[in-house]
Amino acid sequence: MSKKFKDKTLSSLPEGSVIGTSSLRRTAQLARNMPHLKVQNIRGNLNTRLRKLDDANSCYAAIILATAGVKRMGWDDRISQILEPEEALYAVGQGALGVECRESDKKIRCLLESLFDVETTLRCVCERSFLKTLGGGCSAPVAVSSSLNNKELTITGAVWSLDGKTLIKSTSKKELYLPDDDGEPPRKCPYQEPRLYCSVVPVRTVSSLSLLGAETLGKDLAKSLIKKNALDVMSQARNEILDSK
């Protein structure tokens, strides 16, 4: 939030206040949930965007950034408001860190196991499966929110038109197989390469049944949105973006 609006929230900003974001997903949600605001494109890294906000002649009342990125830079004091999932869903896998390695490199995979987080992995597999089934990307407003409570994995997914007027949204839940011990090995046959779950290589701290359940949940949610014409909404958004270029 800019200094002159430091005590405000997005919902309490004056009519016509300009919000900076380069995200189609955020733009569509703001248009639908906070129509009193205006959205203007803003680009650059975190330093650049914050500098544009702080400029004395800035047109921005606030800018929207990913909380995870701001916190990783140690700039928690710049966060004026955290948007909850009820206010704005996020991009698939947003905030999660992934390390890429060769699937067949057992030594490196063993070293990386200490960085592995079961909840993050299951949620990411579910979210990525949702997006993969929809065939979405950065060219259409698609967003999710997921949580894992005890053994129940919940995911909410949505698709918007660019102006936010059309919304197709649904929530699905599934109880996963989460053993109390260290989990089952991702493969039983030493000669069989492990199956990938949306490009995620399983490790021995998570059950393959859990990963399959997360993947299936995301896929089924996407299929439910497709039945509600989500693909038509996404296609129209892509066409509008191409026409504007």
Among 60, 78, 96, give the residue marking a domain's end.
78
Q: For the domain that residue 64 is a member of, what is the CATH number?
A: 3.40.190.10
Contacts within 8 Å (CB) and 24+ apart, 183-191: 183/118, 183/207, 183/210, 184/208, 184/209, 186/211
Distance CA 14, CA 234 (A): 31
The answer to whether residue 2 is domain-embedded is no
Give the per-residue pLDDT at 194.
58
The answer to whether residue 4 is domain-embedded is no
Q: For the domain that residue 237 is a member of, what is the CATH number?
A: 3.30.160.40
The answer to whether residue 140 is domain-embedded is yes
Give the per-residue pLDDT at 99.
86
Distance CA 97, CA 75 (A): 19
Among 78, 98, 115, give the residue marking a domain's end.
78
Give the per-residue pLDDT at 164.
94
The one-digit pLDDT tens for each residue of the chain (245 residues) are: 999 998 899 999 999 999 999 999 999 999 999 999 999 999 999 999 999 999 999 999 999 999 988 999 999 999 999 999 889 999 999 988 888 888 788 888 888 888 888 999 999 999 999 999 998 766 689 999 999 998 999 999 999 999 999 999 999 999 998 765 444 444 444 434 457 788 777 776 788 889 999 999 999 999 999 999 999 999 999 888 888 77
The answer to whether residue 46 is domain-embedded is yes
Query: Which amino acid is present at 232?
Result: D
Distance CA 50, CA 60 (A): 10
Distance CA 125, CA 92 (A): 10
Instruction: Read off the DSSP letter of residue 19.
Output: E
Q: How many CB atoms lie within 10 A of CB 94?
A: 17
Residues of the domain holding 38: 10-78
Query: Which amino acid is present at 221?
Result: L
Give the per-residue pLDDT at 183.
47
Residues 124 and 232 grouped into a single domain = yes
